Amino acid sequence: MTALHVASTPADAASAAPHLLLDGVSKRFGRHAVLSELTLSVNKGEFVCLLGPSGCGKTTLLRQIAGLDAPDAGRILLNGRDITRLPPAARDYGMVFQSYALFPNLDVAGNIAYGLGGRRADKQRRVSELLALIGLDDIAEKYPAQLSGGQQQRVALARALAVSPSLLLLDEPLSALDARVREHLRREIRALQQKLGVTTIMVTHDQEEALTMADRVVVMHGGRIEQCASPHTVYREPASRFVASFVGQGNWLAGRALGGQQAQLGERVLTLAQSHGLANGQPLSLFIRPEDLILHAGWSASRDADLAEVRKLELLGPIYRVGLHVPAWGGAEVQADLTHAQLAELELTPQRRVPLSLNLARLQVFAAEVAPCGA
Ligand code: ATP
């Protein structure tokens, strides 16, 4: 009987060698390079999300790890063992797919026990343990067609975890579910993963899913890793123009580098938090999140604020997104996010003019050789 393994501590994870190492993995389909010398190390117990737009190579990468496909170059090491050329069954992982992929002719207990060896009584005990773990003790004798989508995915998860694999691979496991079930299952999967301490790689194109579930998010684009960092860092300090555009909302402002830490935005000279490192006069793109624009209740000459005209108020549930036109910033159109309380305090209505400034500590600067993605 395989025991449920218990989580190692984050400190263990930090000090240990990588549990999973992808070392220069490349894959082509015909002339199309789908993965280009991709290197990634994942610690034991970590939950890593592969995030990126359709076609960026997420599933292809997961398939290389699973042994469902072989890389053209590079190595894959699991627990220090080179598994690059091993068949899937010899790799020690469990996998959950987007489609539930349960055997329709087996009941839930039969599905979960499918890959288990050993005596019948041991298998039954293990199935009960797993059903308790996923909170579905009472459905052992039901068949997949009698279960909701969310229940089927929980069973698929239990089946993937049945042999206590060293690695859990999740390929868009929530994308076929409706929004409410998806949100609930996000929390459940994450809690279960933390409880068991199983190293997990999940593919998703849903940024909210990646940001809420992962220890680290790997943002992929065109078969390469653009950024690999905590959700907080990916959101707050996107490493590239692509990451800034792909993750969350943002405003792009066309500016020009001045000497030192200064930049010109329309008529305004900004003193940035850090040196931009660009030559005087070079065009640059300034990036700022909607929540980092500051609207002021009153005008004060000492403030680094410019007058903006409210063009649009959009209710997004807990916040309002305010569309603003700023003549002094070269006629820029920007969006600011405000809470209901802030909106009430500012008494904003369309056409109203309001002093607006940038939280300079949150402003990011990118060179502007090409047009900003998504601008
Ligand atoms: P999605 O979110 O849409 O699933 P993805 O990031 O997972 O996208 P992949 O499925 O890894 O993307 O595909 C990456 C690229 O490789 C795509 O252009 C796809 O058409 C191509 N591709 C994937 N598998 C094959 C294959 N077996 N033969 C040829 N091309 C393939």
| pLDDT one-digit tens code per residue, 66-109 | 999 999 999 999 999 999 999 999 999 999 998 868 999 999 99
pLDDT band at 298 (very low <50, low <70, confident <90, very high): confident
Most confident of 117-121, 141-145, 224-228: 224-228
Judge if the beta carbon of residue 173 lies within 6 A of ligand 1. Answer: no
Judge if the beta carbon of residue 52 lies within 6 A of ligand 1. Answer: yes
Could you give phi then psi for residue 307, rounded to 5 degrees? -75, 130
> Which pTM does this prediction carry?
0.88
Q: Looking at domain 10-92+165-243, what is its CATH homologous superfamily?
A: P-loop containing nucleotide triphosphate hydrolases (3.40.50.300)
Minimum CA distance residue for ligand 1 atom 24: 60
CA–CA dist 309, 307 (Å, integer): 7
Amino acid at 326: V
Mean pLDDT of 142-153: 91
Half-sphere exposure of 96 (CA within 13 A, CB side): 30
Judge if the beta carbon of residue 222 lies within 6 A of ligand 1. Answer: no
pLDDT band at 274 (very low <50, low <70, confident <90, very high): confident
pLDDT band at 301 (very low <50, low <70, confident <90, very high): low
Q: Residue 90 Cα, ligand 1 centroid: separation in angstroms?
A: 25
Minimum CA distance residue for ligand 1 atom 27: 29
Q: What are the sequence ranges of the domains in the chain?
A: 10-92+165-243, 249-367
pLDDT band at 207 (very low <50, low <70, confident <90, very high): very high
- 2-56 confidence digits (pLDDT tens): 344 434 444 444 456 899 999 999 999 999 999 999 999 999 999 999 999 999 9
Judge if the beta carbon of residue 29 lies within 6 A of ligand 1. Answer: yes
Paired sense of beta strands 47-51 and 216-221, if any: parallel
Any idea which of 55-64, 74-83, 114-123, 265-274 has the lowest mean pLDDT?
A: 114-123
> In CATH, what class is 249-367?
mainly beta
Q: Residue 245 Cα, ligand 1 centroid: separation in angstroms?
A: 22
- 124-137 confidence digits (pLDDT tens): 888 998 888 888 88
Instruction: Evaluate if residue 373 carries a pLDDT over 60.
Output: no
Paired sense of beta strands 332-339 and 319-326, if any: antiparallel
CA distances from 82 to 39, 40, 248, 260, 350 (A): 15, 15, 37, 49, 62
CA–CA dist 240, 12 (Å, integer): 31
Q: Residue 33 Cα, ligand 1 centroid: separation in angstroms?
A: 11
Q: Residue 57 Cα, ligand 1 centroid: separation in angstroms?
A: 6
Judge if the beta carbon of residue 60 lies within 6 A of ligand 1. Answer: yes
Tokens 């990588």 appear where? 18
**Average model confidence (pLDDT) for the chain?**
89
pLDDT band at 370 (very low <50, low <70, confident <90, very high): low
Judge if the beta carbon of residue 57 lies within 6 A of ligand 1. Answer: yes
Instruction: Evaluate if residue 220 carries a pLDDT over 50.
Output: yes
Cβ neighbors of 263 (< 8 A, separation 6 or more) are 255, 256, 257, 269, 270, 272, 276, 284, 286, 365
